[in-house]
Homo-oligomer: A and B are copies of this chain.
């Protein structure tokens, strides 16, 4: 099994994101609308009425765009959406009821904790502060009334922040509001025990925007970028767009999806042999989709390697608070380990670390908030990063406020603390318990093995695919695990993403399932039943 594969290897990575797509893109006739009774839209396709060739075609647009693979509109997502619509739309007169063998679609494919059907509720303190900031009249002119609803510390916090940032409708500094960046720096300092500089911190529209921005700036066409396999498909998508070369390094499934230093070195060697300069290394810790959390030792080895080989280190640390065993397998930041190393390493290895409000206990994906911290990046490059941030004007203020709430939560003794503690503990306990339950159940199934997750919000069980199933999938022109996921959806309404969406070693097959769904026993028993039937069908 090759440890190193070329760019074509990662082409068919699909995305776990989003479930719906409407394909019909129609043009309309040039007849003005009678406003009282608009005619049905014509379904004639674009430019069919003209012999003129369109300016934009697949052949004329930016060719790098075609290289981007992000198959959100894959068969699975489309089907799940269709089923959901069937189950939730009222029947038209005379329309037959659907004959689906399930009564709801379970979206176990997206790390989107607050979506309908899941049970992670927003943190109350967050929403109280945000609602006050969005409508300051509440505390300016109706204080006595709102005191019946809002706790004192939420009101105080909103007043302070309003004083600092003014209207949530104004552009901020392109790096984000300075006061918030100062509190992010304090958060990092308290987490790691090393100083952080607010001027090296950029607030972003979620971690994805930060990753995309840094990859677009750092990489030239043809530069190599090491990425874990399995990986979160944002990386391959963005690398394709910048025409950089993804250099896969395989995680060691049998050792709990750990990172092998040997494998990493071998990947670098292979890239060099192929003439690809190794410019950057992406690490997702805790892992997505693996849930594996790196040890201090492993992190130290990576940092040293980046020093020795002159590699830019990109640490995707968005799951840093989704940790199940803070004592045994804690989250340790790359920044902390880097700063603890000999001065020559500590002050030279270039690191960008990404964080987000979309994951963790907040799960505020829709708000689009996050930050990245640059460490040891040269001043001349920091200037370029700032310039590019400026072109985008500023990150969404609501996301910036989310970052503030993330790094500056209620403290013990404050009125909002007990509820905050209760809500965040419940979220973490749910994740931990569901993850553990699913891990045990999946391992008890014949033909399925599953590594335990140390954190994040997914499990990534391996399916021992029967040869007949592989054969059948081949005939359908599908990856076997994609066929598995489609049949799972058809039989149970459960939507989970095939491992080929994240990359996996040749000949292995996986499924990524979120640990976000309530009613986990019911949900897992459906997977169990399906799995038995699937194995029986293809044996």
Question: Given B22, B124, B193, which contacts A137 in the complex, CB threshold below 8 Å?
Answer: B124
Which residues 98-137 of A have a CB within 8 angstroms of B? 110, 112-116, 122, 124, 127-128, 130-132, 134-135, 137
Contacts of A416 in B (CB 8 A): none
Give A402 Cβ to nearest chain B Cβ, in Å.
9
Q: How far is the CB of A315 from chain B (nearest CB, A)?
A: 15
Whole-angstrom distance between the alpha carbons of A346 and B62 in the complex? Answer: 25
Interchain CB contact (< 8 A) of A378 among B29, B47, B131, B238: B47
Indicate if the CB atoms of A72 and B174 lie closer than 8 Å.
yes
Q: Report the stretch among A3-11, A217-225, A289-297, A464-472 that lies at the interface.
A: A217-225
A28 touches B197 (CB 8 A): yes
Known: A17-B171, A46-B376. A311 touches B55 (CB 8 A): yes
Interface string of A233-273 (1 = CB under 8 A from B): 01001100110000000000000000000000000000000
Q: Which residues of B contact A444 (CB under 8 A)?
A: none
Q: Which of B46, B137, B347, B396 contacts A366 (CB 8 A)?
A: B396
- Asked whether A208 lies within 8 Å of B72 as measured between CB atoms, the reply is no
Bound complex: CA of A206 vs CA of B141, how far in Å? Answer: 31
- Assembly CA distance A116 to B177 (angstroms): 14
- Give chain A's interface residue range (CB within 8 Å of chain B): 35 or more
A54→B350 contact, CB < 8 A: yes
Q: How far is the CA of A410 from the CA of B47 in the complex (A)?
A: 38
Report if A131-B124 is in contact (Cβ < 8 Å); known contacts: A17-B171, A398-B398.
no
Query: What's the nearest-Cβ distance from chain B to residue A45, in Å?
Result: 7
Candidate in A55, A62, A234, A384 with the most chain B CB atoms within 10 angstroms: A55
Q: Which A128-168 residues have C-beta < 8 A from chain B? A: 128, 130-132, 134-135, 137-138, 142, 145-146, 148-149, 166-168
CB distance from A418 to the nearest CB of B (A): 17
Cβ-closest chain B residue relative to A34:
B193
Q: Which residues of B contact A343 (CB under 8 A)?
A: 29-30, 49-50
Q: A367 and B396 in contact (CB under 8 A), knowing A115-B166, A130-B134, A171-B112?
A: yes
Query: Which of B35, B194, B397 is A190 in contact with, Cβ under 8 Å?
Result: B35
Docked pose: A498 CA to B486 CA in angstroms? 59
Cβ-based interface call for A37 (8 A): no
Docked-complex contact B72 and A167, CB < 8 angstroms = no
User: A445 at the A/B interface (Cβ < 8 Å)?
Assistant: no
User: A363 on the interface (CB 8 Å rule)?
Assistant: yes
Q: Does A172 contact B (CB under 8 A)?
A: yes
Q: A344: CB under 8 A from chain B?
A: yes
State the Cβ distance, A111 to closest chain B Cβ, in Å: 9
A433 part of interface (Cβ distance < 8 Å): no
Judge if A199 is at the interface, Cβ distance under 8 Å. Answer: yes
**A29 touching B347 by the CB < 8 A rule?**
yes
Cβ of A382 < 8 Å from any Cβ of B?
Answer: yes
Tell yes or no: A298 within 8 A of B by CB: no
**Is the pair B27, A376 in contact by a Cβ cutoff of 8 Å?**
yes
Contacts of A91 in B (CB 8 A): none
Q: A386, B21: Cβ atoms under 8 Å?
A: yes
Q: How far is the CA of A66 from the CA of B343 in the complex (A)?
A: 31
Q: A135-B127, A367-B168 are in contact. Are A18 and B390 (CB under 8 A)?
A: yes
Residues 166-195 of chain A, each 1 if its beta carbon lies under 8 Å from chain B, else 0: 111111111000000000000001100111
Residues of A whose CB lies within 8 Å of any CB of B are 15, 17-18, 20-33, 35, 38-39, 41, 44-50, 52-58, 60-63, 65-66, 68, 70, 72-73, 110, 112-116, 122, 124, 127-128, 130-132, 134-135, 137-138, 142, 145-146, 148-149, 166-174, 189-190, 193-195, 197, 199-200, 205-206, 208-209, 212, 216-220, 234, 237-238, 241-242, 279-280, 307, 310-312, 339-344, 346-348, 350, 362-368, 374-384, 386-388, 390-399
Given contacts A17-B174, A115-B166, A366-B397, 20 further A-B pairs with CB under 8 A are A22-B199, A25-B379, A30-B342, A33-B189, A33-B193, A46-B378, A47-B347, A50-B347, A54-B376, A55-B312, A56-B381, A72-B390, A73-B386, A114-B167, A115-B170, A127-B137, A131-B132, A169-B367, A205-B368, A368-B368
